[in-house]
Amino acid sequence: MEIALASQQSQNPLRVGMRSARNVAPCVMVIFGATGDLTHRKLLPALYNLALEHPLPPQFTVVGVARRPFSNEEFRQQALDSINQFSRRRPVNERVWDTFSKGLYYHQSQFDDKSGYEGLAKLLEQLDQERGTGGNHIFYLATPPSFYGTIGDLLNSAGLASQDGNGGQGWSRIIVEKPFGHDLESAMALNKELNKAFKEDQIYRIDHYLGKETVQNIMVLRFGNGIFEPIWDRRYVDNVQITVAENIGVDSRGDYYEEAGAMRDMVQNHMMQLLTLVAMEPPTNFGANAVRDEKVKVLRAIPPFAEAEIAADTVRGQYGPGMVGGEVVRGYRQEPGVNPNSRTETFVALKLAIENWRWAGVPFYLRTGKRLTKRITEVAIQFKRPPYLLFQGTGTDQMQPNVLSLRIQPNEGISLLFEAKVPGQEMQLRSVNMDFLYGSSFGVEPPEAYERLLLDCMLGDSTLFTRIDETEYSWQLIDAIEHAWSRSLAAALPQYEPGTWGPKEADALIERDGRTWRRL
């Protein structure tokens, strides 16, 4: 069953994320790590698509910074190749590319070379005059986190970190990728380093999950519809399940994954962002601090784990070798860059409580892992079952709970599972779905997450970026679990078959509460 949506637009739409009514000021985006994978797979295609769909002014300029000796023309050709391969809008529009490519420049420098930043400052001054960018600069750190502090210091020493650049005109902002720290201590130290050069309102900690259409639609679904918010609490909700599953292994990321693991790689950032949006109270408005204030309140309401609770309410696992789709696949310990005796988790399941008036007594179950059955990210709100008394004696064996599921990827959309009578003389019930799919309902392809987030940074809107206190509260929770795990190295690390939904211990975690994981 599919919901038919009217095509007429609201006279007063809730705007969350991309705000097309606001104009982007001419600016320069400096990308450190311009020859890296992130830049070519995500950033350059996202910027081109923004130019194609007209939110960017013609003066918009990109300066790529990296160690390799490329000319402007070589960098432009590489950008064209990346857009041809990875852009969601293909083939390249020659007229748009001609304008966009004229604003692409390359600057060779080591990330720790002071003279390179002096040269960058001269180039930016030249571009501000020639292209009319007015001293507005965004610095995107598509580099390993170990360079964040160094780049911030050298930008500051070159006079590029000031909020009021170009003689009192213009602005400077810095975007940093996850992971923001490895634990609470390193996150606080990293923020202290960045704060030497940049104020908190200049720092944009990016999490691409917050740019996804369905993630932003969580707030509109809850607060823009009178039928959902009144039942979005402990009186009607039985449990909430958040699943972030991947069907691939770590592949070439073994070195990174050995340091991070599933907990740091996915739970601390992506999954905590999803949890806070689902659980937060209505903000007073959609301003950046109003929204992020409510998200922080959720994190503060999650009680710290006691040692015994960590053993009972968390599960970790590691995928072993096996067969997937008729092909032999390696186990995690056989992946390149992985210690053959590694105890790094590739799967995590945990049960969280939120001790506030809205959610007291409602468990939040989270699971994420590599080499699972399929690639899917979903938030499922499972409501309490209705009383069975009315249907006794009708042949109905069991009333299924209503479930509101938010699909983040793939096939972004929303589904509502409810009970309906099967046609016929007998009273038989069957679960059916009402589905909302972005692609078929609106007839347009939603923009990529990076497109929305890059545009918001240009607009100075930090709503969908992570504030430092969000980061610190989430690290406090993760640190408690990681420390307990590190003290129990002798404990077994369950192996699970690739292509399954993880170790059997994860099923036991939720089944002891009389519940089961959703079948996805």
* Interval 76-123: pLDDT, tens: 999 999 999 999 887 889 999 999 999 999 999 999 999 999 999 999
Count of domains in the chain?
2
pTM across the whole model: 0.88
Containing structural domain, residue 412: 210-448+464-511
Confidence of residue 4 (pLDDT cuts 50, 70, 90): very low
pLDDT band at 395 (very low <50, low <70, confident <90, very high): low
Helix (H) or strand (E) holding 352: strand 347-352
Is 19 contained in some domain?
no
Note whether residue 471 is domain-resident: yes
Structure tokens at 510: 């939720």
Domain of 144: which CATH number? 3.40.50.720
Of 177, 199, 228, which marks where a domain is finished?
177
Mean pLDDT within 171-190: 91
CB atoms within 10 A of CB 488: 11
HEC assignment per residue over 258-326: HHHHHHHHHHHHHHHHHHHHHHCCCCCCCCHHHHHHHHHHHHHCCCCCCHHHHHHHEEEEEECCEEECC
Q: Are residues 76 and 223 in the same domain?
A: no
How far is C-alpha 479 from the chain's CA centre? Answer: 20
Q: Which strand (E) or helix (H) includes residue 450?
A: helix 449-459
Highest mean predicted confidence (pLDDT) among 210-224, 303-317, 359-373: 359-373
Same domain, 430 and 385: yes
pLDDT in tens, 358-371: 999 999 999 999 99
Q: What average pLDDT does this structure show over 233-237?
A: 96
* Rounded-to-integer distance, Cα 98 and Cα 216, Å: 33
Tokens standing for residue 207: 């999490």
Alpha carbon dihedral 65, 27, 208, 36, in 10-degree steps, equals: -10
Percent of the chain whose pLDDT exceeds 70: 91
Residues 156 and 295 in one domain: no
Whether 67 maps to a domain, the answer reads: yes
Q: Give the pLDDT score at 320.
A: 93
**pLDDT band for position 6 (cuts 50, 70, 90):** very low
Q: Can you read off the two tokens belonging to residue 28?
A: 């320069």
Does position 139 have pLDDT exceeding 90, yes or no? yes
The tokens for 441 are 């309902």
The enclosing domain of 387 has a CATH number of: 3.30.360.10
Give the strand order in the sheet containing 364-369: 429-437, 413-421, 403-409, 376-383, 237-245, 364-369, 347-352, 314-319, 495-496
Q: Taking 70 as the threshold, does the pLDDT of residue 274 lie above it?
A: yes
Q: Reading across the β-sheet that carries 61-66, which strands appear in turn? A: 104-108, 61-66, 28-32, 137-141, 172-177, 203-206
The predicted structure's pLDDT at residue 488: 73
Is residue 16 one of the residues assigned to a domain? no
User: Is the Cβ–Cβ distance between 101 and 137 less than 8 Å?
Assistant: no
* 102 and 242 housed in the same domain: no
Residue 15 has pLDDT above 60, yes or no: no
Residue 185 resides in a domain: no
Residue with tokens 């096939």: 411
pLDDT confidence tier of residue 411, bands split at 50, 70 and 90 = confident
Kindly state whether residues 493 and 403 are assigned to the same domain.
yes
Looking at residue 434, what is its pLDDT?
86
**In the annotation, is 40 catalytic?**
no
pLDDT tens-digit map of 28-39: 999 999 999 999
Among 40, 137, 208, 270, the active-site one is: 270
